[in-house]
Structure 1
């Protein structure tokens, strides 16, 4: 009956994991407290990152991090362990402008998958919370990264070709650059970054020879300007990768090297197109096995909110302070110091204890 019900209701992985202890009032109250404490921590995670951890069959071991995401990105989490070896419950929460974490998750993984995907439509901070199934004690890794939601608009080029960015001054400071400039040889094909239709073409104004591609999914318009020539006509339906025209320097770019000015316009105006097309490489998994506990090594041991020295220091721990190891990313341990304090500490300051 439960399986039939799940087919209809499609519960999240967390809802399924909670069934194991929901009938035990004291255990469930402890779980709720641990979950809320983790969700409310101050920890920040830079992307891309790989986080290693170990589930605990004796207790709840919940990971939670704040990540900054930009409109136009696709945020992804993937694990190196299949769900039939260790079920992970992954929830993503939005954070409001007044730093309040929403109660209801905006995206959750299903019980069949140890991964999550989320297309970002609003730039801001988000909270990711990961709950491993406490029935097992198993090492696992999580790869957290972003990828663009659109194809790079100049054939054969990548991030290195972008040499002018959103917000740069133009016209002696009279206006700001509402797009990015991608430099390439004259005649390099510019391509459809998404499926859609050509809403307009022409040779006019600052943009010179230009193409407007309407994205039917989000209703946004992609603007290709300074073209040397145009290869499509208005009303034509195009697919990802179709050639729309060729790189040039028409319009007000006639004194500059050939490049594509690429912009994105929505009902609310222009938005920064860089996150929509910026190419990112996720970090490869390594074979990392963690101890459950550790102790600090030096006279001064800095605990920070993020896994680098650029992040705010929470406090200094005394030598030989006992810590619980919740995870590790790059060369930084994610530590629990007491019931409420968590932070990152560089591996040089921590001795793992078996």
Structure 2
């Protein structure tokens, strides 16, 4: 039976790699969508394996866990399963998301990576997909809110991967100085708190250069009472305008096409800043008014913690060494999904920091501290079967397929448990679940 199964899997893989049947090309498709269409064209969505792959892609998005950026994990997709994993995270407008995915072996299984914007209402919007060359994905965040990333390998191929997500500024810094020179932030009180600061103030040497944060167009050069000598600048392809104020000298001309880093003017203290040290007031304006510019230019990029949980446990079945919390996130303030009892069986999918992402026997997923898991071979206990005929189930579920039966008087090793079932190994090294 095992030989027949392997032969069928080989034929499916060969068919997928060779078949070039008709595909709906009325719209541009992501690599994931193209692969799924190939499955359907080949009629493989009607097979157990093909159906499981398609269902896994949808279910993973519905069960996506929450993560905070920056984030890094190393995981493993097994060829024996239809795998998919997804995460949700929040990002502020103005940031740039950078996503890298490295796999082992490099020329092994294709791993489809897709990124969505999750609106408050309506359907998720696909923003980007990884190309076949494995280049990083970079996304300018045009709307604050929740985003989702999904990874899914092709069928019948195993792969180890490392996923890394960071966020940084979508624009360059507007002066030659750094964040340490920002002396006033968005929302600070002005004029005895009668108004709020609509930008950030970046201090520096008198007549030091202020520069273009990206390629774009100088839309206006003028003076006003508050800003003194000012320049308005529109980055290419964006729906907002940058505001440079308190300049001592305006160098760029109205209508000029400039490149990132080009000098627009020289820092000063004109307008209502004449009693203050030289600085640049930097603001961003949209059709709806001013917005906080700091996420657009904040040069501080945090790096994710290194993966400390042992990678040797990837794709292994472990058990809890004591009572442990299954969490909805990989941080100390994550919410508890459920409390797991001592000896609860889990399968390790990936490692991040000091956590593992695990799947329970009932399909639920979550994060757990790696230190709270142990090998199933440790501290096993033996029990004697007392019932005349005890069914061995494939999963801890009375509706699961029955693998066999144990006769009364047989001794078995208990490796762990889940709910009302024990995971056992009988005298012939067969593994399965029996009722407690």
TM-score of the alignment, normalized to the shorter chain, above 0.5:
yes
**Which deviates more, 259-268 or 108-117?**
108-117
Assess, with a 3 A threshold, how the Cα gap between structure 1 residues 329 and 204 changes in structure 2: closer, same or farther. same
Question: Distance between the aligned counterparts of 1:352 and 1:182, measured in 2?
Answer: 55
Do 1:141 and 1:285's aligned partners in 2 also have CA atoms closer than 8 Å?
A: no
Greater relative CO (CA pairs within 8 A, separation 6+):
1
Tell me which of 308, 314, 320 is aligned to 2:331: 308
Matched residue pairs, number? 350
Question: Distance between the aligned counterparts of 2:228 and 2:240, measured in 1?
Answer: 21
Question: Distance between the aligned counterparts of 1:146 and 1:244, measured in 2?
Answer: 27
Do 1:83 and 1:114's aligned partners in 2 also have CA atoms closer than 8 Å?
A: no
**Structure 1: 5+ residue stretches without partners:** none
Assess, with a 3 A threshold, how the Cα gap between structure 1 residues 172 and 2 changes in structure 2: closer, same or farther. farther
Do 2:53 and 2:155's aligned partners in 1 also have CA atoms closer than 8 Å?
A: no
- The CA RMSD over aligned residues, in Å, is 2.8
Assess, with a 3 A threshold, how the Cα gap between structure 1 residues 238 and 103 changes in structure 2: closer, same or farther. closer
TM-score w.r.t. the length of structure 2 is: 0.72
1:202 aligns with 2:216: no
Q: Which residue of 2 is the match for residue 176 of structure 1?
A: 196
Tell me which of 27, 32, 40 is aligned to 1:14: 32
Tell me which of 119, 128, 149 is aligned to 1:96: 119
Q: Which residue of 2 is the match for residue 84 of structure 1?
A: 107
Do 2:314 and 2:349's aligned partners in 1 also have CA atoms closer than 8 Å?
A: no
Assess, with a 3 A threshold, how the Cα gap between structure 1 residues 283 and 199 changes in structure 2: closer, same or farther. same
Q: Which residue of 1 is the match for residue 289 of structure 2?
A: 269
Larger of the two Rg values belongs to structure? 2
Tell me which of 39, 50, 69 is aligned to 2:72: 50
Alignment partner of 1:275: what SS?
A: helix
Deviation of the 1:142 alpha carbon = 0.8
Assess, with a 3 A threshold, how the Cα gap between structure 1 residues 29 and 135 changes in structure 2: closer, same or farther. closer
Tell me which of 43, 57, 60 is aligned to 1:35: 57
Q: Which residue of 2 is the match for residue 231 of structure 1?
A: 251
Question: Distance between the aligned counterparts of 2:145 and 2:235, measured in 1?
Answer: 23
1:351 aligns with 2:374: yes
**Structure 2: 5+ residue stretches without partners:** 1-18, 378-436
Question: Distance between the aligned counterparts of 1:183 and 1:319, measured in 2?
Answer: 58
Alignment partner of 1:209: what SS?
A: strand
Q: Which residue of 2 is the match for residue 127 of structure 1?
A: 148
**Which deviates more, 1-10 or 137-146?**
1-10
Q: Alpha-carbon deviations, 1:4-45, whole Å to 9, x = none?
A: 979997642212443675423132332233222211125111
1:109 aligns with 2:130: yes
